[in-house]
Amino acid sequence: MSLTTDLAKLEQWLRQRSPTTWASLRPPATLDAIDSTAHQIGVRILPDLKRLWRWHDGSEGALVAGVPLQPGHYLLGVNGALVEWHGRTDVAGYSGDSRSWSPQWLPITSDGAGNHFVVDHRPGPELGSVFVADLQNGPMRHRGWPSLADLVRDLCDALTHGRPVDGHLPHITEEGRLAWTFSPA
């Protein structure tokens, strides 16, 4: 399946089973906003990330009531990604040590504590991969996927089949929000 197909499945699942989370999705990002972000950070945004942001430009209330793309990590839109990118690149400073951060990693989620799932925009074999960039521990590629399409496919599979993601099971709160509950194996 394609990323576009899986995003449509995700939207349908959210609309039917988690209406409050679905309602938090923003309209699609404009190509101008995506291009502006690419220009500001100095990378060419990969096609799958453009597709994600053209699907929806993140969600409202990102860290309170947004879309938890992964347990504890909420979907960022174009502006949110840029703010988080600046927070890691400018404020924390980039020393050139890619063991902790690379300015070519673009956040797609945030946990509100400085940790992100990022899309790797560096040339080479890991181009397009998605993984956790942990503030304390650096890149955690064992918590990742070869591509954004793989992440969304696994998310759809977890939601439709009630499978765990990173030790957490999806559930819907009384308010109609998607949430993740730790489920020890």
pLDDT of residue 143: 78
pLDDT of residue 185: 64
Residues 79-108 have pLDDT tens digits of 999 999 998 887 655 555 566 788 999 999
Residues 142-162 have pLDDT tens digits of 779 999 999 999 999 999 998
CATH number at residue 81: 3.40.1580.10
- Taking residues 169-184, what's their average pLDDT? 90
Structure tokens at 110: 């945030």
Q: Is 66 left (phi over 0), alpha (psi -120 to 50) or beta?
A: beta
Look at the alpha carbons of 151, 154, 160, 166 in this order and tell me if their dihedral is positive or negative.
negative
Q: Give the predicted TM-score (pTM) of the model.
A: 0.92
Residues 39-94 have pLDDT tens digits of 999 999 999 999 999 999 999 875 556 788 888 889 999 999 999 999 888 765 55
pLDDT of residue 96: 56
Domain coverage including residue 150: 3-182
- Taking residues 110-122, what's their average pLDDT? 92
Measuring CA to CA, how many Å separate 19 from each of 15, 24, 109, 143?
Answer: 5, 9, 20, 28
Residue-by-residue DSSP string for the chain? --HHHHHHHHHHHHHHH-HHHHHTBPPPPPHHHHHHHHHHHTS---HHHHHHHHH---BTTTTTTS-EEETTEEE--HHHHHHHHHIIIIIS---S-TTT--TTEEESEE-SSS-EEEEE-SSSTTTT-EEEEETTTEEEEEEEESSHHHHHHHHHHHHHHT--BTTEEEEE-TTS-EEEEE---
Structure tokens at 33: 């906003």
d(CA 50, CA 144): 19
Domain count, the chain: 1
Q: Which residues of 15-25 are buried (b: 16+ CB within 10 A; e: fewer)?
A: eeebeebbebb
The answer to whether the CB of 61 falls within 8 A of the CB of 54 is no
